[in-house]
Amino acid sequence: MFDEVLSQITFIDAFNFCVFLIFTLCYTYQLYYAFVVLTRKVPVHTPTRNHRYAVMITARNEEPVIGDLIHSIKVQNYPQELIDVFVIADNCTDNTAQVARDAGATVFTRHNSKEVGKGYALDYGFQIIRSHYADAGYEAYFVFDADNVLDVNYFREMNRTFDAGAKASTSYRNSKNFYSNWISAGYAVWFLREAKFLNQARLLLNTSCAISGTGFFIAADVIEKAGGWKWHLLTEDIEFSASSILSGVRISYTPTAVLYDEQPVTFEDSWNQRFRWAKGFYQVFWNYGARLVKGAVSNPPGARFACYDMLMTIAPGMLLTIVSVAINSICLLLAAMGIITLKTMVISCASSIFFCLANFFLFMFAFGVLTTFVEWDSIHAPNRLKVRSMFTFPFFMLTYIPIALVALVKKCEWKPIRHFIPMDAPEAAGVAVTAMRQPKE
């Protein structure tokens, strides 16, 4: 009997230790990322010429905001004759198409209730451009969401990166509405951290970055080789990133190209969006995980780390946290039912649950504080809200735990995220940011 109880204790303790060890071994390198960012400067490339670009904007019922994005493109500190704007009005039931035309964009209308999603809409637009605008001489394509607004120097800065030879590049993703509430602030801090302490570190270490939904370019020859946009999972951006890394295409990052993005302000919208992201990450892991593992082992040295880094990006690490908490909780439940009576085992399980959640909370708190202080001047919000966000950010991240769990078993259907916060080009340049009308949670 004693040996049986002892084996139970050994199993629980060994399991908890293994979970801690796996997390430590897999993600400690991101602490080194932070060190690299804080101690190195980003090199600046002087372009030899200005290149010709096409802008791709997919929009579904984005009438309130799409005009602001197009206007911010039209006032760029970059030759306008080298930028053509295309909008794919995807299954719209409002006046998005006409607003986009009035703002100066070429609009393609699409109605397809079977192939739903940004990836399909992008491919639709690319196929039209490849067949009807083949002689336009586009050297790269930019992809934006309709609610974005660009800093006036955005194209000038991204042109530096493209001229330096990058086949794809993401940019600095800031927020239009950090000030709205703790939800929008949570998103904003997450994307600022991703830009500063993930992609900038990757740039400095000369490894591949990852695009994140919006604010990126892809060289025309990459699109031509693929035959259009052929990445159609729920998170088509991460799928493209994984596919590119596996095929040897390095994704760069341009920290001086600033994009402003509107974040959800209601928990319902946030849940729906992040549920789709979680489901999409599972899909990418299922479809690309094995190949990334192989690449991390067998590719040339530089490409190995890029595969490993992308594997850690898509790996369902949150599930390991959930499994750890679940197993320890089951043991506590058995103890409450009287099936397990050993006090030391109960203490071990309870302390493990607390440690697991507290460790996650403190890690996110530390990164939230670091990101907020480093990017303090870039955050357009009152100082008191910046300070508050340091404490609310870990709670925002904790809400990912139930989302990740539900995404395992529930089918995902596309649901619209409402965008309604206007922002003009001078505001995007940082001259002034005014709290516009938005619903309060």
- Whether residues 98 and 166 share a domain: the answer is yes
Tokens of 233: 């999972």
pLDDT number for residue 441: 40
343 falls within a domain: yes
- Whether residues 127 and 270 share a domain: the answer is yes
Tokens of 209: 């970055």
Residues with Cβ within 8 Å of 225's Cβ and at least 6 positions away in sequence, in order, are none
420 falls within a domain: no
- Whether residues 195 and 334 share a domain: the answer is no
Short-list 140, 285, 155, 281, CA closest to 220: 140
As a whole-number percent, the residues of the chain with pLDDT over 90 amount to 66
- Whether residues 123 and 57 share a domain: the answer is yes
- Whether residues 351 and 367 share a domain: the answer is yes
- Whether residues 212 and 324 share a domain: the answer is no
**Separation of CA 336 from chain center:** 42
39 falls within a domain: no
What distance in Å separates the CA atoms of residue 187 and residue 400, rounded to the nearest whole number? 12
- Whether residues 118 and 217 share a domain: the answer is yes
- Whether residues 54 and 78 share a domain: the answer is yes
pLDDT number for residue 433: 39
Last residue of a domain, one of 314, 332, 356: 314
Last residue of a domain, one of 299, 314, 329: 314
| pTM score | 0.87
Short-list 167, 170, 282, 280, CA closest to 226: 167
What distance in Å separates the CA atoms of residue 327 and residue 126, rounded to the nearest whole number? 48
Helix (H) or strand (E) holding 293: helix 267-298
Residue 255 or residue 20, greater confidence:
255
- Whether residues 305 and 371 share a domain: the answer is no
Span 192-207, mean pLDDT?
95
- Whether residues 160 and 194 share a domain: the answer is yes
**Does residue 7 carry a pLDDT above 60?**
no
pLDDT tens for 288-334 read 999 999 999 988 877 899 999 999 998 877 666 777 777 777 777 77
Tally of CA atoms within 13 A in the half-sphere of 423 that contains its CB: 32
Residue 236 or residue 351, greater confidence:
236
Q: Which amino acid is at 290?
A: A
Span 342-366, mean pLDDT?
75
Per-residue pLDDT band for 396 (boundaries 50, 70, 90) equals very high
Query: Residue 71's domain spans which residues?
Result: 47-314
- Whether residues 199 and 63 share a domain: the answer is yes
Tokens of 99: 């607003």
Span 141-159, mean pLDDT?
96
pLDDT tens for 23-71 read 777 788 888 999 999 999 998 899 999 999 999 999 999 999 999 999 9
- Whether residues 308 and 333 share a domain: the answer is no
64 falls within a domain: yes
Q: Which residue has the tokens 């690319």?
A: 126
Tally of CA atoms within 13 A in the half-sphere of 434 that contains its CB: 7
327 falls within a domain: yes
pLDDT number for residue 201: 96
Domain harbouring 144, CATH code = 3.90.550.10
417 falls within a domain: no
Give the total number of structural domains in the chain.
2
Which contacts (CB < 8 Å, 24+ apart) does range 382-389 have?
A: 382/179, 385/178, 385/179, 385/185, 388/182, 388/185, 389/178, 389/182, 389/185, 389/186, 389/188, 389/189
250 falls within a domain: yes
**Does residue 101 carry a pLDDT above 90?**
yes
pLDDT number for residue 251: 96
Helix (H) or strand (E) holding 253: strand 251-261
185 falls within a domain: yes
Residues with Cβ within 8 Å of 100's Cβ and at least 6 positions away in sequence, in order, are 57, 59, 66, 67, 70, 87, 89, 107
Tokens of 134: 């083949």
Strands 83-90 and 106-110: parallel
What sign has the CA pseudo-torsion 391, 394, 399, 402? Answer: negative
